């Protein structure tokens, strides 16, 4: 569905309350919300692979091109040679646990964590280059630029945008219905075995 069709659908749902500019703001906010809430496996259109050079087992996410969506958008990481296993991601809050020798990273089971715009590799051997799989920043939706997300997500995108419109209009009942609708759909999609 094109951005023009999405805008028309939003205007029709609102009884022509919202301008095209407001609809575009809602759609871009909805795109961000969808990327934050939905499993990353649904975003193949905006998944990128790039090589990152580590300096002292640390690499800056800002060095990735195109730009990464946010710190939580790293999907996987592996040595550049491609013959070694993928790193295991550990939450920042569990780093202390890796000091235990039974849980410590090894060359066969390397680990990484993301914190404050950087990737930190935790393994005994140094790896100067790693391959990073991540969600990139999507294009901004305009009247001339359509969303890059898969067409199966377009209706969900419009529903999320509609909820933002009703919140702006201070129509809590309509906003709650739209939020309930898209939340159920996202939970159902995230619950599937992909």
Using one digit for the tens of pLDDT, what is the confidence trace for 11-68?
998 888 899 999 999 999 999 999 999 999 999 999 999 999 888 888 999 999 889 9
Residue 86 pairs with which residues in a beta bridge? 78
Domain chopping of the chain, boundaries: 3-41+149-191, 44-135
The number of CA neighbours under 13 Å toward the Cβ of 152 is 8
Model pTM?
0.86
Residue 80 has pLDDT above 80, yes or no: no
Cβ contacts of residue 148 below 8 Å, gap of 6+? Answer: 45, 46, 138, 139
> Tell me: the pLDDT tens digits for 86-113?
888 999 888 888 888 778 888 778 889 9
Token pair listed for 56: 């002292």
Q: How high is the pLDDT of residue 115?
A: 92
Instruction: Assess whether pLDDT exceeds 90 at residue 82.
Output: no
Residue 143 has pLDDT above 90, yes or no: yes
Report the Cα–Cα distance between both ends of the chain, in Å, rounded.
24
Could you tell me the pLDDT band of residue 188, with boundaries at 50, 70 and 90?
very high
Give the model's pLDDT for residue 83.
Answer: 67
CA 42-73-116 angle, to 5 degrees, is 170
Three-state DSSP class for residue 79: strand
What's residue 107's pLDDT? 77
% of the chain at pLDDT higher than 90: 61
**pLDDT, position 155:** 96
- Asked if the model's pLDDT at residue 173 lies above 90, the reply is yes
What are the tokens at 3?
């951005």
Whether the predicted pLDDT of 190 surpasses 90: yes
| Dihedral of alpha carbons 14, 19, 20, 24, sign | negative
CA distance 121 to 88: 10
């Amino acid at each position: 569905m094109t951005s023009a069709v999405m805008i028309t659908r939003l205007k029709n749902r609102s009884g022509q309350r919202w301008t095209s500019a407001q609809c575009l703001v809602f759609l871009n906010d909805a795109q961000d919300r969808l990327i934050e809430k939905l499993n990353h496996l649904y975003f193949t259109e905006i998944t990128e692979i790039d090589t990152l050079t580590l300096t002292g087992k640390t690499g800056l996410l800002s060095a990735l091109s195109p730009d990464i969506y946010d710190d939580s958008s790293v999907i996987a990481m592996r040595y550049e040679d491609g013959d070694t296993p993928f790193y295991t991601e550990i939450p920042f809050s569990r780093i202390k646990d890796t000091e235990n020798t039974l849980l410590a990273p090894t060359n066969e089971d390397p680990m990484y964590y993301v914190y404050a715009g950087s990737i930190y590799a935790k393994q005994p051997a140094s790896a100067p280059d790693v391959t990073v799989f991540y969600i990139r920043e999507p294009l901004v939706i305009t009247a001339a630029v359509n969303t890059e997300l898969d067409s199966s997500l377009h209706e969900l995108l419009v529903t999320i945008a509609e909820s933002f419109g009703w919140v702006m209009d201070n129509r809590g009942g309509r906003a709650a219905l739209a939020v309930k609708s898209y939340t159920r759909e996202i939970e159902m999609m995230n619950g599937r075995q992909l």
